[in-house]
Structure 1
Amino acid sequence: MSTEHKITTQQVNFKVFRFNADEDYLPYYEDYSMEVTSEEVVLDILNRIKWDHDGSFSYRRSCRHGICGACAIKVNGRSTLACKESMNDMVDLFGSELTIEPLSIKRVVKDMIIDKGDFWEKHEAVQPYLVADIDENPETENLVSPEDADALDDADLCIQCGACHYACPAVAINEEFFGPAAFAAAYRFSADVRDNSEERLKTVNEMGQGVWDCVKCFECAEVCPKEINPIGKITKLHQMAFQEGIAENNVAVRHAVGFKKSIEKRGVLDEGGLVLYSEGPSIVKHIPVALRMFTKGKIAMPWAIPTSDNMDEIKKLVESSSTAKF
Structure 2
Amino acid sequence: MSTDKISTQKVNFKVFRFNADEDYLPYYENYTMDITSEEVVLDVLNRIKWDYDGSFSYRRSCRHGICGACAIKVNGRSTLACKESMSTMIEYFGNEITLEPLSTKRAIKDMIIDKGDFWEKHAAVTPYLVADIDESPACENLVSPHDSEELDEADLCIQCGACHYACPVVEINSDFFGPAAFVAAYRFESDVRDSDKQRLINVNEEKQGVWDCVKCIECTEVCPKGINPFSKITKLHQMAFKKGVAKSNVATRHAVGFLHSIKRNGVLDEGGLVLYSEGVHIVKHIPVALQMFRKGKIVLPWNIVKSDNLDEIQKLIKSSSTVKF
Smaller-chain TM-score bracket: over 0.9
For residue 312 of structure 1, give the secondary structure of its aligned residue in structure 2. helix
In structure 2, stretches of 5+ residues that fail to align are none
In the TM superposition, residue 3 of structure 1 has moved relative to its aligned partner by 7.0
Distance in structure 1 (CA, Å) of the matches to 2:117 and 2:168? 15
Counterparts of residues 129-278 of structure 1 (less than 5 Å):
129-278=128-277
Q: Secondary structure at the match of 1:73?
A: strand
Shift of 1:301: 2.4
Shift of 1:297: 2.9
Letter aligned with residue 122 of structure 1: K
**Residue 19 of structure 1: CA displacement?**
0.1
SS at match of 1:177: coil
CA offsets per residue over residues 228-277 of structure 1, 9 Å max, x none?
00010000000000010111011100000011111111111111111110
The DSSP-based 3-state class of the residue aligned with 1:12 is strand
Q: Is the counterpart of residue 46 in structure 1 residue 45 in structure 2?
A: yes
- The one-character-per-residue Cα deviations of 1:191-212 (angstroms, maximum 9, x if unpaired) are 0011000010011011110001
- Aligned counterpart, 2:79: 80
Q: In structure 2, how many angstroms separate the alpha carbons of the residues matched to 1:3 and 1:123? A: 46
Deviation at 1:320, TM superposition (A): 1.4
- Report the more deviating stretch, 156-165 or 87-96: 87-96
Distance in 2 of aligned mates of 1:242 and 1:124: 24
1:68 maps to 2:60? no
For residue 13 of structure 1, what is the aligned residue in structure 2?
12
Q: 4+ residue stretches of structure 1 with deviation over 6 A?
A: none
Letter in 1 for 2:277: S
Q: Distance in 2 between the 1:289 and 1:187 partners?
A: 37
Corresponding residue for residue 91 of structure 2: 92
Percent identical residues: 76
The 1:6/1:298 distance shift into structure 2, 3 A limit, reads: farther
SS in 2 for 1:15: strand
How many Å separate the matches in 1 of 2:70 and 2:209? 27
Q: 3-state DSSP class of the match of 1:79?
A: strand
For residue 8 of structure 1, report the CA deviation from its aligned partner: 1.3
Give the CA deviation at 1:94: 1.1
Structure 2 equivalent of residue 110 of structure 1: 109
Partners in 2 of 1:109 and 1:144 — Cα distance?
A: 43
Deviation at 1:294, TM superposition (A): 2.1
Q: Which residue of 2 aligns with 1:308?
A: 307
Q: Which amino acid aligns with 1:36?
A: I
1:129-162 CA deviation, whole Å, 9 max, x = no partner?
0000001011111111111111000000000000
**What residue ranges of structure 1 are gaps of 5+ in the alignment?**
none
SS in 2 for 1:31: strand
Counterpart residue number, 1:287:
286
TM-score, with length taken from structure 1: 0.98
In the TM superposition, residue 5 of structure 1 has moved relative to its aligned partner by 3.3
The alignment's TM-score, normalised by the length of structure 2, stands at 0.98
CA distance in 2, matches of 1:95, 1:165: 26
Q: Give, in angstroms, the shift of residue 189 of structure 1.
A: 0.2
What letter is aligned with 1:144? V
When the two chains are superposed, the root-mean-square deviation of aligned CA atoms in Å is 1.1
- Structure-2 separation of matches of 1:282 and 1:253: 15
Q: Determine the C-alpha separation between the residues in 2 that align with 1:171 and 1:201.
A: 20
Query: What displacement does 1:222 show?
Result: 0.6
Residues 149-179 of structure 1 deviation map (CA, whole Å, 9 limit, x = unaligned): 1100000000000000001011111000000
Bigger shift: 313-322 or 300-309? Answer: 300-309
Alignment partner, residue 22 of structure 2: 23
SS in 2 for 1:74: strand
Query: What is the CA distance between 1:299 and its match in structure 2?
Result: 2.6
Q: How many residues are matched?
A: 325
Question: SS of 1:11's equivalent?
Answer: strand
